[in-house]
Amino acid sequence: MRTTVGIIGAGPAGLLLARLLHNAGIDSVVLESRDRAYVERRQRAGILEQGTVDVLREAGAGERMDREGLRHDGIELRFARRRHRVDFPALTGGRSVMVYAQTEVCKDLIALQLKEGGPLLFETEALAVEGAETDRPRVRFRRGGAEEGAEDVLECDYVVGCDGFWGVARSAVPDGRTFERTYPFGWLGILADVAPSHDELVYARHDRGFALLSMRSPSVSRLYLQVPADTDADSWSDEQIWDELERRFETDDDWTLRRGPITQKSVTPMRSYVHEPMRHGRLFLAGDAAHIVPPTGAKGLNLAVGDVVTLARALAHRTATGSDDLLDAYSATCLRRVWQAERFSYDMTTLLHSAPGATPFEDRLQLARLDRIASSRAAETDLAEAYTGFPIG
């Protein structure tokens, strides 16, 4: 098999890259180790920054998002039984975010790719990237399903590792440097068949730990509780989860939490991670393959989108002009935005979670930082600008 761009992974990064390249007249092949149903059902991110929304529209993948997505003009911060709304458009010159689940973004991009784009091979696992420093890099892969076991090679002009944190592409970048922090807590996330109790996301800081109220649709709520990192989701009964959520969202007014049947429950670990550089020869890394953020800032999916937009532009520029300038700048261009997102995600995490062993002094500082955001337009604007997204490129 031969193609211009070999893409490993059909998460948001790989799928969007394939779409952008297709629109630019550049052919690609996408290899995905899982089957289609698994990729379309994997519950993950749900907040699209303004820039991500614009990119999906321009790529021709925004039709259902515009119909079914929920535009949000703010978030609520909850602390010390107080409520404070951050008004995004007022603070950022009109920017907002869209609540539209990653599962739906993937479904839309898969449907487009299968209808109009190049090959998208499910149940096809990349085993290794070879020859990245030559002008003929290759991906060794194995087909699953009916042809299980047969090994094959995809020859490419460029290979892009969009294969997430656990993929194989990153290991083909020698002499990389990694920067990492793990947190001693995770998020117990639930999906519940109940209308959201608030029309915008609620980020709650409580002495018992962080809680987040989010949603997937007008009838499906997505809620999270800070729990110790090694928690087994099944050790929490549904009733315990609702009781704990109720405590952490408590306010001085008559706000109430709606309860409903819990349909899914899992624990997500929290990690900050960056791999530098994001390129080796003709191999490029994009999305979670190169960096991870804790989900508190809702940045993971949006960073992946920024990477592939930057890369697709660089590849289109190479095709049009023969110049490698933008490809050479790819890693540095992306890393600048990545580190801003890392900083913001870390700040949001430390602002809102109670760290095991935190002293009363540190607790008071947390509350003072929240109070500062609630009382200073400058501090609030900084949060609103970061939340709605850093510029791409």
Tell me which residues are annotated as active site: 72, 203, 295, 299, 387
Q: Segment contacting ligand FAD (CB under 6 A): 43-51, 90-98, 324-332, 357-365?
A: 43-51
- Residues 76/200, Cβ–Cβ less than 8 Å: yes
> Is 159 an interacting residue with respect to ligand FAD (CB under 6 A)?
no
**92 burial type by CB count under 10 A (0-12 exposed, 13-18 middle, 19+ buried):** middle
- Among 5, 7, 13, 338, which residue interacts with ligand FAD (rule: CB under 6 A)? 13
> Is 205 an interacting residue with respect to ligand FAD (CB under 6 A)?
no
Q: Segment contacting ligand FAD (CB under 6 A): 92-100, 156-164, 312-320, 359-367?
A: 156-164
> Is 311 an interacting residue with respect to ligand FAD (CB under 6 A)?
no
Name the residue with tokens 């090694």: 230
Measured from the CB of residue 242, what is the shortest distance to ligand FAD in angstroms?
20
> Is 10 an interacting residue with respect to ligand FAD (CB under 6 A)?
yes
The Cα–Cα gap between 202 and 193 comes to 18
Measured from the CB of residue 16, what is the shortest distance to ligand FAD in angstroms?
8
Subset of 100-129 contacting ligand FAD (CB under 6 A): 102, 125-126
> Is 167 an interacting residue with respect to ligand FAD (CB under 6 A)?
yes
- Among 3, 28, 33, 349, which residue interacts with ligand FAD (rule: CB under 6 A)? 33
For 53, 271, 341, 373, 388, the CA distances from 384, given in Å and listed in that order, are: 17, 23, 13, 10, 6
What would the two tokens of residue 88 be? Answer: 């995004």
Q: Segment contacting ligand FAD (CB under 6 A): 44-52, 59-67, 87-95, 145-153?
A: 44-52
Size of the site for ligand FAD (CB under 6 A): 32
Beta strands at 177-192 and 262-276: parallel, antiparallel or unpaired: antiparallel
> Is 300 an interacting residue with respect to ligand FAD (CB under 6 A)?
yes
Subset of 209-248 contacting ligand FAD (CB under 6 A): none
The Cα–Cα gap between 170 and 152 comes to 20
Q: x/- binding map, residues 265-294, to ligand FAD, per CB under 6 A?
A: ---x------------------xx------
Per-residue b or e along 20-32, where b marks 16 or more CB atoms closer than 10 Å to that residue's CB: bbbbeebebbbbb
Binding site for ligand FAD (CB under 6 A): 8-14, 31-34, 39, 44-46, 102, 125-126, 162-164, 167-168, 268, 287-288, 295, 298-301, 304
